[in-house]
Amino acid sequence: MSNNNTKLPSHTVDDHMFGDFYAHEHEGDSDHDHDDMDPGPLEDNPIWQRDNVALTSVGIDIGSAGTQVIFSNIHLQRKSDSLASRYIIVDRKTVYESPVSFTPYSDEVTIDGAALGVIIDDAYHSAGIRPRDIDTGVVILTGEALRRENAAAIAQVISEKGGDFVTATAGNHMEAMLAAYGSGAAKASHDQKCRILNIDIGGGTTKLALADCGQIVWTAAFHIGGRLIATENGLVTRLDPAGAHHARQVGIDLSVGAPIDALGMAKISTHLAKLIVGAVTLTPPTDEIRRLFLTDLPTDFNDIKGIMFSGGVGEYVARREERDFGDLGKVLGHELRRRVDNGDLNAPFLAAAACMRATALGASEYSVQLSGQTSTITAPGTVLPRRSMQVLKPNLDLSTHPSTREIAQSILHHFEAFDLDPETAEVALAFEFHVAPEYRLIRTLADGIVSALGKYLASGRSLYVMIDGDIAQTLGGILQDEISLSNELLILDGISLRDFDYIDLGKVRLPSFTVPVTIKSLLFSEDPNGPQRQERIHFHEHGSEQHTHSHKHV
């Protein structure tokens, strides 16, 4: 208590809570602890807010057959079992699920952008959510929708309509992963410490994802779906090239407008079920199955403890849906359930938490990470936000204490491998740091980065570094205070990335001082330096013949 008569400024409880700890006095019998005041809800406490972050997310799934939108509130919490600054998702609540609408097409090669826009706008209106309310999210095009000529443009427009940080992405590997998260296969695998196979069967493609103790260890896709053929009043109204192929395999020649009865549709569906079972159980697969794959063939089906089905056909497998939509889905689902119950897939059936909604749920939840509180961000208004930054993760094992030269060479080699110019390319460098935070190692890492990117940094460009560890503040301090780097820095910790990821970086969130990082593993453009996991498009019509060609989505 001061003994002078100087009158100090009055203060409030908020001054304590927000760190305004200027010198002050309490009158004689004042209660310094303020324990007579109601602290209010826990969620309003800034200390709680720093460790708990709420995000509003959207998942927009534009598939071969159906389009849907799901809004979620995601609760991320800083891990409390250590001093690490990593945030993990501890809760997700669905705010609104739109009806599942048929994906609109103008013709065989074009998505109807105007009609699709109406579906999206109606979802936002019905949810009472504005695009500016969205913190993160994903628009994903998959299956037959991805093959349409304007797919990339459509995804970009929808992502821009959806909010500043809604990411456009595409690809069968991504959808397989998101479906495994949304169906609950990944969580069940984590909880039971086992391997679970998720089979997501949509309108045009079937995606496989193997979850091992909660981690998705491989994904694949092949050209079988429940809506490759659609009928109305006994006539074919929709016929994808793959649907015509499968029909021919059972001796049925189809064209749009041609008649087909229920027995013919059932014959095709039963054949598709046989192929799906074979894709999972036959090693090696038959030539017919091999030709159906849109990705590299999976190789590891050992020791699977359960199988989940998701996607529209998964609703029939789970016996949650019995309506017939004039396609292959109902019979295909029933036949698959019969076969899995008979033990034909070598693992028991496990009920999925979500089937039709799985991909959209996965997109609304598992595409976001949150940076730690100990990051280095020198000028938030300059370095943030950023869209579609390519991630480069040099092949470095920092536990071996590499030299400055070895670190620099590894970084430069990665730029060369991806055909990027280290003097001009703005990328996010990603490093794993799972060892003790020794000063000498962190200093060596800083020296290696500066050595590799000397000309880039000399031009005044900003430096972006993502750390799967908890050293971002120390690394930033060394770069600024010891190496005297004057460039703007964004160094985030608690972020786990890999090569071939692209990321969107949102604005700094207060009071947690964190940055949302939205991850998208696949883009539309072809890149010869992309991942080795091939994505192949089959049944591309050219005259009277069908050709198979191969390319890679990154």
The side-by-side arrangement of strands in the sheet containing 215-222 is 215-222, 206-212, 195-201, 306-310
Half-sphere exposure of 468 (CA within 13 A, CB side): 13
- The domain tally of the chain equals 3
Q: Do 79 and 213 reside in the same domain of the chain?
A: no
| Per-run averaged pLDDT (10 residues), the chain, 554 residues | 42 38 44 50 54 79 85 75 56 86 84 89 93 81 70 76 65 82 91 95 92 87 94 93 94 95 96 96 89 84 92 95 95 97 95 88 66 82 86 90 96 87 94 90 97 96 92 94 95 82 79 75 35 40 33 29
Q: Do 228 and 251 reside in the same domain of the chain?
A: yes
Last residue of a domain, one of 169, 189, 210: 169
Q: Do 280 and 139 reside in the same domain of the chain?
A: no
Q: What angle do CA 39, 43, 48 make, to 5 degrees?
A: 90
- Please give the C-alpha separations between residue 46 and each of 15, 17, 33, 232, 416, in angstroms, as whole numbers: 12, 7, 17, 59, 45
- Contact status, residue 11 vs residue 34, Cβ threshold 8 Å: no
Q: Do 129 and 240 reside in the same domain of the chain?
A: no
- Pairing verdict, β 136-141 and 105-107: unpaired
Q: Look at phi and psi of residue 433 and say left if phi exceeds 0, alpha if psi is from -120 to 50, else beta.
A: beta
Last residue of a domain, one of 364, 379, 397: 364
Q: Do 237 and 223 reside in the same domain of the chain?
A: yes
Q: Return d(Cα 335, Cα 329) in angstroms, integer.
A: 10
Q: Do 380 and 462 reside in the same domain of the chain?
A: yes
Q: What pLDDT, on a 0 to 100 scale, did the predictor assign at position 428?
A: 94
Q: Do 392 and 485 reside in the same domain of the chain?
A: yes
- Look at residue 268 and tell me if it is in a domain: yes
Q: Return d(Cα 104, Cα 117) in angstroms, integer.
A: 10
- Look at residue 534 and tell me if it is in a domain: no
- Look at residue 23 and tell me if it is in a domain: no
Largest CA-CA distance found in the chain, in angstroms, rounded: 102
- Contact status, residue 195 vs residue 210, Cβ threshold 8 Å: yes
* Helix ranges (DSSP H) in 427-512: 439-452, 454-458, 472-477
Q: What pLDDT, on a 0 to 100 scale, did the predictor assign at position 43?
A: 52
Token pair 């990593």 is at which residue?
A: 86
CATH of the domain at 132: 3.30.420.40
- Look at residue 31 and tell me if it is in a domain: no
Q: Do 396 and 487 reside in the same domain of the chain?
A: yes
- Pairing verdict, β 206-212 and 101-102: unpaired
- Look at residue 12 and tell me if it is in a domain: no
- Look at residue 36 and tell me if it is in a domain: no
Q: Do 267 and 159 reside in the same domain of the chain?
A: no
Last residue of a domain, one of 337, 364, 391: 364
Q: Domain span at residue 296?
A: 175-364
Q: ω into residue 241 within 30 of 0, thus cis?
A: no
How is residue 374 annotated by DSSP? Answer: T
Q: Do 379 and 437 reside in the same domain of the chain?
A: yes
Q: Do 188 and 313 reside in the same domain of the chain?
A: yes
Tokens standing for 324?
A: 């017939």
Q: What pLDDT, on a 0 to 100 scale, did the predictor assign at position 214?
A: 85
Query: What is the sign, positive or negative, of the torsion defined by CA atoms of 20, 23, 28, 31?
Result: positive
Q: Do 221 and 318 reside in the same domain of the chain?
A: yes
- Look at residue 544 and tell me if it is in a domain: no
> Cβ of 519: how many Cβ atoms within 10 Å?
22
- Look at residue 278 and tell me if it is in a domain: yes
Coil vs helix vs strand at 145: helix
* Helix ranges (DSSP H) in 225-328: 241-249, 262-281, 287-292, 311-317
